[in-house]
A and B are shown apart, each in its own frame.
Chain A
């Protein structure tokens, strides 16, 4: 009988039920879309922020102080410590290895060098000791690493320094005798480097690097021109292996830039890890905070000193926290509006059914039975409307994610449960107040139309 009454109510007033359902579905659609976007946005934006480049800098622990002014290290090559290149694949073995987006080792070598292939400079190039000193930076442009699980991983400055653009040409090939020239050095008219005039090194010409003693000079063909907007515009970028050869430090590097996906640090994560209790330590270790990733890298690469590039990391943390908060507030506002509208709709449908309630009571139904019946109807509606709304919201959130980040958020069970619970709660709450009043109705005056 109970079920029949409910079914009858739906069958008799299909349009009303449809409208209440539509209001529910739309409201819950807003809730789903806003929730999905908010839940997903942190990770997506963290990825976007990697266009700011590396946020961790790894240097040897036993290193002497760098004497770097204007991008040129004034330390002699034999001063300071180096790190082994062969350790680098270990970076992809730390707990948060999936958050390591890229890394690039760097070895800087100042070298006596000259441009070949142009008549006006040939006579000057006779004595290598009079050649200007040009800073060379050895690094990976795009380097394939084979991981233990058989997968490959591409990394290099293209990942860690995305703002480096090639104005012309291409990156050098790993290990080939090629180089990429900073845009200031590439000027045809030439420029001053280290107090000496260097003729321009346009693409296609070769850089002749003096290797000391009687060794034959090294010819590096310029295959690209780099625009970095920074001090790298005044240097020549060469493959890491060439720089190692020139510095006589095979298989070693001096600095390592790491670009990692992180979660903004909260107050507790900013404390010294040594002061954590074991539980706090576990939580800290298992959260991709920049400090915990730095700690894990330091553990994996012995003898290193891992520093957070504050400039990048702090700004990123701040903006990310703000944007997430903003979206949560938008979500909150959307939930509130949807809840109020749906609640109003539910309340209205109960208010208008006074006659029906009066009739039921006149036929001997108690207030409890009437309330139960109406609540069951509303709940059924909430489930159906909430389900449709969830589907609608997911579609919208996917469209949004696809359009803005090029990747759709995954549908999540939590959102579904939250939305269904919200739908049920809001409709029940909306009907509760009018229902309470309805239970006090005397059937006779209502039926008389008073």
Chain B
């Protein structure tokens, strides 16, 4: 009995092998369709998970979304300050990403502009201008306050000799790079060389940017800043969470989100992630159905095989089991190859879109393979309809 069963099983595998090998053209076609489906499934799943995370980083191209300012129940607004040391004492975020931030101190100074170095430069004019002292903990100030450099080198060395000016200041005094500015307040006087002209499209266009220390000296406010602008990355919920951390850390200051960006972004993020999920879902569903229809079509062409097996005494259950096993095997192979390709594909796509390769997620792989096997098995099921087939009529070519 045992040997009969073993022989039976051996026969089963042998028939299966022959079924697969019988028509190589067909085998290739089936693997191609299943593999394509698996590849797209894996690529889209992987890309979708990665894209949502990446989008929140992308949104930070809007610059700062949180401001830490003196509590508003202090003295006159605009002149209140907070300690510069706050800049150093930021709570750590759970993920290891750093939080770009910059401190600003604003003052009004009498500015005299000269067209060039020393005494030979001609005087271009005098006017009161807002000077913004700044110090940032980030790769670039652009991360925090987006702007375009219209004139001058992109790289700026933060030292007391140079300053950067807004576009409006430049046009007001007809200033260009390497012009000299004398800044004078009641407390002190300094001069600096213009190294950059920046375009912001906001009030910053009317400001002169110099290192924080210099403004602190000019304003007589050592170790003080007017406000700190912070770039908090993450989803709307993560940002909200980090805001609470900040409020706990700095109970004396007012921590407020820049609603213009936090709210606008939350809205846009919801839309984009909804769009992405829905598109991916529809594409996957239709692709799955499409692959299934194609596979069913292939399966239905095999009347001859079914007829032959029935003619030599195979029961319909056994015949069906054979075909299902074949389908599952094909699904497995197609899925394993396709999903592997798909993950590589999604890494490439991630690199193309976001400049950073999408991180492959392990969970995607088994899910894509399993889905492919399911699609393959489901598409073999319509063979059951052939149960009523009469072998003789198949061979006569009637059916």
Chain A positions near chain B (C-beta within 8 angstroms): 15-16, 19-20, 22-23, 26-27, 29-30, 33-34, 37, 41, 45, 48-49, 51-53, 56-57, 64-72, 74, 161-163, 184, 191-196, 227-231, 233-234, 307-316, 318-319, 322-323, 325-327, 329-330, 333-334, 336-338, 340-345, 347-349, 351-352, 355, 396, 400, 403-405, 434, 437
Contacts and interface: CB of A to CB of B under 8 A. Distances in A.
A343 B203 CA distance: 59
Interface string B287-306: 10111011011101100000
Interface stretch (B181-189, B345-353, B362-370): B345-353
Interface string B58-72: 110111000000001
Contact of A323 (B130, B262, B272, B283): B272
Interface stretch (B13-21, B87-95, B152-160, B274-282): B274-282
Given A163-B259, A337-B36, A34 B279 contact: yes
A65 B129 contact: yes
Interface in B93-125: 106, 108
Contacts of A15: 300
Contacts of B271: 45, 48, 404-405
Contacts of B51: 326
A163 B202 CA distance: 18
Contacts of A341: 33, 36-37, 287, 290-291, 293-294
Contacts of A400: 275, 278-279, 282
B64 to A, nearest CB: 9
B238 interface: no
17 contacts: A27-B287, A48-B267, A71-B78, A311-B201, A315-B61, A333-B345, A336-B40, A337-B290, A338-B290, A341-B33, A341-B37, A341-B294, A344-B298, A348-B26, A351-B29, A352-B301, A404-B271
Given A51-B263, A319-B55, A337-B36, A34 B199 contact: no
Contacts of A333: 40, 43-44, 283, 345, 349
Contact of A53 (B61, B264, B287): B264
Given A51-B263, A323-B272, A69 B106 contact: yes
B127 A65 contact: yes
Contacts of B202: 57, 309-311
B216 interface: no
Nearest to B74: A192
A318 B58 contact: yes
A30 B147 contact: no
Interface centre among B36, B202, B290, B297 (most CB of A within 10 A): B290
A315 B146 contact: yes
A258 B306 CA distance: 72
B300 A16 contact: yes
Contact of B73 (A23, A192, A315): A192
Interface in B2-28: 23, 25-26
Contact of B58 (A19, A192, A319): A319
A41 B276 CA distance: 11
B293 A41 contact: no
Main secondary structure of the interface of B (DSSP, over half): helix
A59 to B, nearest CB: 8
Given A48-B267, A71-B77, 6 more contacts: A16-B300, A66-B203, A193-B77, A311-B200, A348-B26, A400-B278
A161 B43 CA distance: 39
A413 B134 CA distance: 55
Contacts of A347: 25, 29
B168 interface: yes
B234 interface: no
Contact of B44 (A45, A315, A330): A330
A336 B130 contact: no
A68 B205 CA distance: 11
Contacts of B167: 307
Contacts of A345: 33, 293-294, 297-298
Contacts of B106: 69-70
Interface residues of B, number: 92
A49 B128 CA distance: 36
B221 interface: no
A161 B290 contact: no
Contacts of B40: 333-334, 336-337
B196 to A, nearest CB: 14
Interface string B70-86: 00111111110000000
Given A69-B130, A74-B108, A310-B200, A229 B256 contact: yes
B211 interface: no
Contacts of A307: 167, 199, 201, 205
Contact of A318 (B61, B148, B278, B297): B61
A233 B42 CA distance: 49
Contacts of B23: 351
A23 B294 contact: yes
Nearest to A434: B25
B189 to A, nearest CB: 19
Contacts of B29: 344, 347-348, 351
A240 to B, nearest CB: 20
B260 interface: yes
A322 B354 contact: yes
Interface string B367-378: 000000000000
Interface centre among A29, A231, A348 (most CB of B within 10 A): A348
Given A315-B146, A322-B354, A340-B36, A228 B128 contact: no
Interface centre among B73, B127, B286 (most CB of A within 10 A): B286
Given A69-B226, A310-B148, A322 B353 contact: yes
Interface centre among B279, B282, B397 (most CB of A within 10 A): B279
B282 A396 contact: yes
A234 B77 contact: yes
A278 B264 CA distance: 38
A70 B61 contact: no
A192 B297 contact: no
B311 interface: no
A45 B272 contact: yes
A308 B294 contact: no
A27 B36 CA distance: 12
B138 interface: no
Nearest 3 interchain pairs by C-beta: A229-B259, A340-B36, A315-B62
B268 interface: yes
Nearest to A33: B282
A349 B297 contact: yes
B191 to A, nearest CB: 19
Given A318-B58, A334-B287, A229 B260 contact: yes
B328 interface: no
B290 A342 contact: yes
B268 A26 contact: no
Contacts of A337: 36-37, 39-40, 283, 287, 290-291
B230 interface: no
B145 interface: yes
B315 interface: no
Contact of B268 (A49, A64, A193): A49
A16 B297 CA distance: 6
Nearest to B202: A309
Contacts of B26: 348, 351-352
B82 to A, nearest CB: 13
